[in-house]
Each structure stands twice: as C-alpha cells, then as structure tokens.
Amino acid sequence: MSNFETIKCVVIGDEKVGKTSLIIKSSRKQFQPEYIPKKADNYSLLTKFNSKTIQIGFWDTISNDESNRLRPLSYAKTDIFLVCFSLSSRSSFENVESKWIPEIKLYSPNVPFILVGTKKDLRANHNFIQNLKNKNQLISSKQARKLAKKLDAFQYIEVSVLSHQNISKVVDETIRSVLYPESKKKKSLRKLNDEKKCSIL
C-alpha cells in the first residue's frame, strides 16, 4: 500500500443542516455559518494518518429539488459518504432513511457512509430549547445510534462546527472507513463478544 492515499468524500443531506460549514471547518479550520452554496464546491485537506499522507477531497452537494437529477453525477468514484442531518431538525433526520440512503444505495450501492448529526451545541442552548414549539424536534443520541445501526452506517458521529466538537473525529473516521474498512467489523464483533460476556455473568 502506498504512503500517499487520495479519498473522495461526498457530503449529502438536507439544506441548512450545516454540510458546507462542516466541510469548511474540516478542511480549513474555519467556521462559516448559514452558508448555502449556489453550486457544488470542492475542498481539499492534506493530513497525516498512521504515517501515511492522506489527501481528502470533500465534495459539497446541493440539496434542493432542482438538483435531484444532477446531484448523483458527483457520486462517481466516491470512497465514502458523509450523510448529515441536524440534531435540531426532525425532518432532516427522517430524510436520512427516506431520501438520502436510498439515493446512495441506488447510485453507489457498495460505498460506505458515516452518519453525522450536526449542531450538537444546540442541545445545551437553553434559549434555543425554550423557543422550540415542539420539544420532540430534537434528536437524541439514542435515536440516531439506532438509525445508524439499522442502516448499517460505518460510524455515527455528533458534531458541532461552532464549538469544534468531533471535527477531527469526522476526518479520522473518514480515512479509517476507506483505508481500514474491516475495523467496523472488528468493532461489531468486539461489541457482540462483550454482550455475550455480560450475559454469562
């Protein structure tokens, strides 16, 4: 295996869930709030991982209805998808299963994906929570992990671009999913073995 690897990472999800902000923060360490791209931009990150040099190409996508026909054209030769939803938006969470996963399974059936819950900081924002008309709109970690397991995600990660929570983990897991895809199977087996030990005890 070469000491230099390139990874194509396509980021999908509903509008205003923070896809572009996540990409910019991951690749440039900057925060750009509420930016809605007019076209699909690409960003690049050069980093080190286990003594390898990795270049990740982050592909942003447009999520409106007008782009539904053209968006899948960017899926060719994708190594990993980041499927994003906002932890403060029930509709974006539900669209993961009803829209985004069916779409990538149709056009890129064998490509792994990481489920990413964005805007984690809003869970601790009391003003935001008080102003919510429907408290059930917030997605719990348990609900998201359950969906990730159901859909066979490589990993589930909750992030906050605003407070920089788990941004580096997104980058690390993106790399790991491509270079070490067997690590998911090992994690699952380890969890299964732990459960068996608990049942014996």
pTM: 0.85
DSSP 12: E
Supply the pLDDT for residue 101: 98
Alpha carbon 53 to chain centroid, angstroms: 22
| pLDDT tens string 153-200 | 999 999 999 989 999 999 999 999 999 988 765 555 445 345 444 444
CA distances to 17, 79, 84, 129 from 115, rounded to whole Å, are 13, 15, 6, 23
**How high is the mean pLDDT of the chain?**
85
- Domains of the chain: residue spans and CATH: 4-200 (3.40.50.300)
